[in-house]
């Protein structure tokens, strides 16, 4: 019989040393990862530049980007980034710092939940599993809101986990409400994911003695508390922007994204209903090797017993279904379920060691090879073969090393996994993902920096012109240029606008792709400008190579 949840001490003194050491390794790894690259278009520089403008203006209520109101996200991410920038300056690491700290906190809280509900070993496994998934490596060291959101949402789930034996009390509802409010200040309605999960669990457990009618009322009250915290900022912010925040954020980014695909992220309802299945297969790599077996064990009540089945199903399924039904879809929309997936995989690894898994579970575990193997092969071979199709110095060698690490990890892990040595295969995945960080951070990421366009453009402009020289752009609107320039950019809308720009009095800068300039010259003739710099590189957000020029107008007048 599978063990049910048992109440245990938070952590012993010896365990504290192990957990602290693990979290320091995770934090150090993510800090190093976050310092290895400039910002990536387009979300990172939007958050970062808005935080810089918040500091420059001293306006901490209304968010701006490029000097205009930017109501796309609530304010807490910008506040935290602005704090880090004030201390460390406008650097990449400052902009990513609170996301990295949030990742470490999330891993620590995941350990706490696993320790309390599944045992010490499962808690430690869950902490490491979560930190080493591909999705966490992407968002955990990024200057975006996702890794900042996670500590609050999983914190709410941790408070709920503490009610598993005695039921929900007013103090729990207040704690969940406070965390929900902070989560909503990070990402609006996405902060309500814990409430959705908790209500689902309560419905599944409605016949249990710990679930009383007051339990539902208390969770509803926690949502109200969260809403009040959110409105304490949102109402005056909307007033400060003459209603634009509520109109754009609620109208377009909440309701609009739910009803229709935005920015090409979505599509036909029936076609995109299974969208998040490949997201899990790829984003939860490499632990998809164990995930099918974990789902089998969860369904059979062998991870925390029937209570565990209800908790984790309620945590995983509602957000997965809700985000699948929304018209706009992005991989990070379901990252809330990542700690739950890490916990059930950790519970399965621990259960395999103690002989609690059934033959059916072990069959499903072996079946994980069919999900893990193709992704590992695609990543490994892609790193080895892909660099031969791009002219990036140093990428071929480091890509080959990274690809070999991934393929070696996959071969060794699959061998142990098929031999029913589940824990050994898990150890190989941890060692392999740690080893993969070496070529990734030492070579692959630095090599890719060489073909980034905006930092080089900004350097050319800032070293030749003073901060008072206005900058315009035509057909090049990447937010990284805003961040690294540190100036407001005027965006021109037509060839005629470019021509008008050339005859303005005073000095000026124009950033324009060479092919667009050639088209304008064919239509309108030569322009009275001087070429300051030309940067060839890869536009990651558009997926193509391009040469971008910096043109000067009336340079002698600056």
Q: What is the DSSP string of 99-154?
A: HHHHHHHHHHHHHHHHHHHT-HHHHHHHHHHHHTSHHHHHHTTSSSSHHHHHHHHH
Query: 424 and 459 in one domain?
Result: no
Q: Residue 440's Cα: distance from chain center in Å?
A: 18
Q: What is the 3-state secondary structure (H, E, C) of 332-377?
A: HHHHHHHHHHHHHHHHHHHHHHCCCCCHHHHHHHHHCHHHHHHHHH
Whole-number Å distance between alpha carbons of 547 and 558: 26
Are 234 and 136 members of one domain? yes
**154 plus 134 within the same structural domain:** yes
| Cα(487)–Cα(511) distance, integer angstroms | 13
pLDDT on residue 14:
77
CATH number of the domain encompassing residue 491 = 3.40.190
- How far apart CA 470 and CA 508 sit, in angstroms, is 5
Q: Which two tokens stand for residue 433?
A: 């993902």
pLDDT score at 1 = 41
Is 29 inside any structural domain? yes
In 3D, which of 171, 124, 141, 158 has the Cα closest to residue 22?
124
d(Cα 361, Cα 188) in Å, to the nearest integer?
Answer: 38
pLDDT at res. 541: 86
Q: Is residue 8 part of a domain?
A: no
Residues 176, 139 within the same domain: yes
- The reported pLDDT for the residue numbered 542 is 86
CA distance 410 to 28: 25
Residue 2, pLDDT score:
45
The pLDDT of residue 513 is 97
In terms of domains, do 401 and 467 share one? Answer: no
User: Do the beta carbons of residue 265 and residue 328 sit within 8 Å?
Assistant: yes
List phi, psi (to 5°) of 104: -65, -45
Burial class (CB in 10 A: 0-12, 13-18, 19+), 103: buried
Residue where a domain terminates, one of 449, 466, 485: 449
Q: Does some domain include residue 407?
A: yes
Q: Which two structure tokens, joined as six digits, stand for 466? A: 């003073």
pLDDT of residue 273: 53
**How high is the pLDDT of residue 251?**
58
Helix H or strand E encompassing 178: helix 170-187
Does some domain include residue 228? yes
b/e burial code for range 175-212 (CB count within 10 A of at least 16 → b): bbbbbbbbbbbbbbbbbbbbbbbbbbbbebbeeeeebe
Whether 504 and 534 map to the same domain: the answer is: yes
- Quick one: 358 and 506 in the same domain? no
The burial class, CB within 10 Å (0-12 / 13-18 / 19+), for 386 is middle
Count of CB atoms situated within 10 Å of the CB of 223 = 22
- Residues 441, 461: one domain? no
Return d(Cα 36, Cα 205) in angstroms, integer: 47
- Do both 526 and 500 map to the same domain? yes
Assessment of whether the complete model's pTM goes beyond 0.95: no
| Among 449, 471, 504, residue at a domain's last position | 449
Domain assignment present for residue 441? The answer is yes
What the block records as the tokens of 157 is: 């789930």
The domain tally of the chain equals: 3
- Which domain-ending residue is among 320, 335, 369? 369
Does residue 6 sit within a domain? Answer: no
Is 377 contained in some domain?
A: no
- Are the C-beta atoms of 310 and 205 separated by less than 8 Å? yes
Residue 331: what pLDDT? 87
**Domain of residue 438, residue span:** 382-449
Residues 274 and 350 in one domain: yes
Domain membership flag for residue 376: no
Instruction: Clarify whether residues 465 and 388 are in a common domain.
Output: no
**Mean pLDDT per 10-residue interval, the chain, length 558 residues:** 48 79 97 96 95 95 91 92 97 98 98 94 97 97 97 98 91 98 94 96 92 94 96 89 72 55 48 77 97 96 92 95 82 94 97 93 96 97 94 94 98 97 97 97 95 96 92 96 96 95 94 96 91 93 92 71
User: Is the same domain home to 67 and 125?
Assistant: yes
């Amino acid at each position: 019989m599978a063990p049910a949840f048992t109440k245990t001490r938070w952590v012993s003194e010896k365990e504290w040393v192990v957990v602290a050491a693990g979290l320091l390794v995770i934090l150090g790894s993510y800090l190093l990862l976050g310092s290895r690259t400039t910002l990536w278009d387009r979300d990172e520089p939007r958050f970062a530049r808005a935080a810089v403008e918040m500091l420059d203006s001293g306006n901490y209520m209304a968010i701006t980007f490029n000097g205009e109101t930017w109501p796309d996200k609530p304010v807490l991410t910008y506040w935290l980034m602005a704090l880090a920038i004030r201390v460390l300056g406008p650097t990449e690491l400052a902009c990513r710092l609170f996301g990295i700290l949030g990742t470490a906190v999330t891993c620590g809280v995941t350990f706490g939940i696993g320790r309390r509900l599944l045992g010490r070993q499962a808690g430690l496994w869950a902490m490491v599993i979560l930190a080493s998934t591909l999705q966490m490596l992407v968002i955990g060291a990024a200057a975006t809101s996702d890794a900042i959101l996670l500590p609050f949402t999983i914190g709410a789930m941790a408070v709920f986990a503490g009610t598993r034996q005695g039921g929900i009390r007013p103090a729990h509802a207040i704690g969940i409400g406070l965390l929900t409010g902070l989560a909503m200040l990070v990402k609006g309605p996405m902060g309500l994911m814990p409430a959705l999960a908790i209500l689902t669990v309560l419905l599944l457990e409605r016949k249990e003695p710990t679930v009383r009618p007051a339990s539902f009322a208390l969770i509803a009250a926690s949502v109200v508390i969260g809403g009040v915290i959110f409105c304490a900022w949102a109402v005056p912010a909307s007033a400060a922007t003459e209603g634009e925040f509520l109109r754009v954020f609620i109208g377009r980014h909440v309701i609009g994204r739910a009803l229709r695909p935005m920015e090409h992220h979505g599509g036909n309802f029936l076609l995109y209903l299974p969208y998040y299945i490949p997201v899990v297969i790829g984003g939860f790599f490499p632990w998809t090797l164990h995930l099918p077996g974990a789902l089998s064990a969860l369904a059979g009540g062998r991870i925390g017993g029937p209570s565990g089945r209800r908790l984790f199903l309620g945590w995983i399924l509602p957000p997965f279904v809700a985000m699948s039904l929304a018209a706009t879809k992005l991989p990070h929309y379901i990252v809330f379920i990542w700690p739950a997936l890490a916990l059930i995989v950790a519970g399965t690894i621990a259960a395999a060691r103690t002989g609690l898994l059934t033959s059916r579970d072990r069959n499903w575990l072996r079946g994980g090879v069919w999900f893990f193997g193709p992704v590992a092969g695609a990543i490994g071979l892609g790193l080895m073969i892909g660099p031969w199709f791009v002219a990036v110095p140093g990428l071929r060698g480091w890509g080959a090393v990274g690809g070999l690490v991934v393929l070696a990890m996959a071969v060794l892990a699959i061998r142990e996994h098929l031999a029913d040595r589940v824990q050994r295969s898990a150890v190989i995945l941890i060692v392999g993902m740690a080893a993969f960080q070496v070529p990734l951070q030492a070579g692959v990421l630095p090599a890719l920096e060489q073909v980034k366009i905006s930092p080089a453009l900004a350097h050319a402009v800032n070293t030749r012109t003073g901060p008072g020289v206005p900058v315009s752009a035509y057909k090049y609107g990447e937010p990284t240029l805003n961040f690294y320039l540190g100036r407001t950019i005027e965006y021109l809308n037509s060839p005629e606008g470019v021509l008008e720009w050339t005859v303005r009095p005073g000095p000026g800068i124009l950033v324009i792709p060479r092919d667009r300039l050639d088209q304008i010259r064919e239509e309108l003739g030569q322009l009275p400008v001087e070429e300051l710099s030309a940067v060839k590189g890869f536009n990651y957000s558009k997926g193509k190579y391009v040469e971008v020029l910096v043109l000067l107008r009336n340079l002698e007048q600056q």
